[in-house]
Amino acid sequence: MSLPRIAIDAMGGDEGVRVMVDGAAEARRHHDRFKFLLVGDEARIKAALETHPNMRGASEILHCEDVVGGDEKPTQALRRAKTTSMGLAVNAVKKGDAGAAVSGGNTGALMAMSKLALRTMPGIDRPALAALLPTLGDNDVIMLDLGANTDCDARNLVQFAIMGAAYSRIVTGREAPRVRLLNIGTEDIKGTDQLQEAAAQLKAATGLAMQFDGFVEADKINRGDVDVVVSDGFSGNIALKAIEGAARFVTDLLKDAFRSSFRSKVGFLISRPATELLKHHLDPNNHNGAVFLGLNGVVVKSHGSATAGGVANAVKVAARLLEEDLTQRIASDMAALHARGIERTGAGE
């Protein structure tokens, strides 16, 4: 099966053109069927391509010079959707020139442009940003929303659960991924009205391709006993960043501790394979590639400071979602839900 090509916003991200092109080339070394539309300054892209003979014949350049700034407001960026590398990469998906887009640029602008160009899928009110996080179990856990929607109602949360479960079926291979809503306790009475209502709707639903297990607290996200953690974008962003920060905090403390005495330094050198394993497991580049779920097309957000290896992972995420046709999976799950009419319940019972 030939894979639709992937549009790369070569100008987004903190590191510029080279890291994006290096990342695409690295992904292609593992999967030689990948093809690319590289969007950005032609001269710089050509220069970056020189070191990658494996990209010859597999990539086309779409020249543009304009770039969305990291601090730019989404509304401002939207006005330059037709001239910026980000806007043109997303637009290539809309026009069918590419199957998916990958960008390391401004998340808010990417969200706004993707929503405007690709529109939300039938039955989905709002797209959500989803990412994979490592766990103690065999599979990564999917968290969503991570910041696309500050406020969410029960209906949004139910839709996020369905989209997350569809993504998790691809990642875990489970037919009924274990889904939970992020809350500050697991008892029914805990949390906001929206959470309680969403839980009631998901509990009442039958035949959904998920196992809904109620609430989960933020200290249980990485234990490996939940596949999808659903939240509003504010709480999800807080939880994601708190986890990232705490992981860095502990590894920083560990470094300090290992430096605290000669004996510790020797122990560190001997146990280096162990600490390297830890470092590998926690490196965000190995989990790079957040996805906007719920759009008519695949858009993947690469971390602004990702390495070439990180960009390669984001590209692989995009390719996998194309191959497994995530958009179609969500559409059919949503259709099944509509058939049972659960969606029509409002905010109250």
Residues in contact with a copy of itself by the rule CB under 8 A: 71, 73, 135-136, 147, 150-151, 182, 184, 187, 189, 191-192, 217-223, 233-235, 237-254, 257-258, 260-261, 263-264, 266-275, 277-278, 281-282
Instruction: In whole angstroms, give the CA distance from residue 303 to residue 320.
Output: 18
| Residues in CB range of 253: below 8 A, 6 or more apart | none
Answer yes or no: are the C-beta atoms of 323 and 164 closer than 8 Å: no
Q: Tally helices (H) and strands (E) across the chain.
A: 12, 11
Q: Are strands 59-63 and 100-103 parallel, antiparallel or unpaired?
A: unpaired
Query: First CA to last CA across the chain, in angstroms?
Result: 47
Burial class for 48, CB neighbours closer than 10 Å (0-12, 13-18, 19+): buried
CB atoms within 10 A of CB 14: 12
| Residues in CB range of 305: below 8 A, 6 or more apart | 13, 14, 15
Nearer to a copy of itself, 56 or 263 (CB): 263
Answer yes or no: are the C-beta atoms of 299 and 101 closer than 8 Å: yes
Answer yes or no: are the C-beta atoms of 188 and 199 closer than 8 Å: yes
Instruction: In whole angstroms, give the CA distance from residue 299 to residue 103.
Output: 8
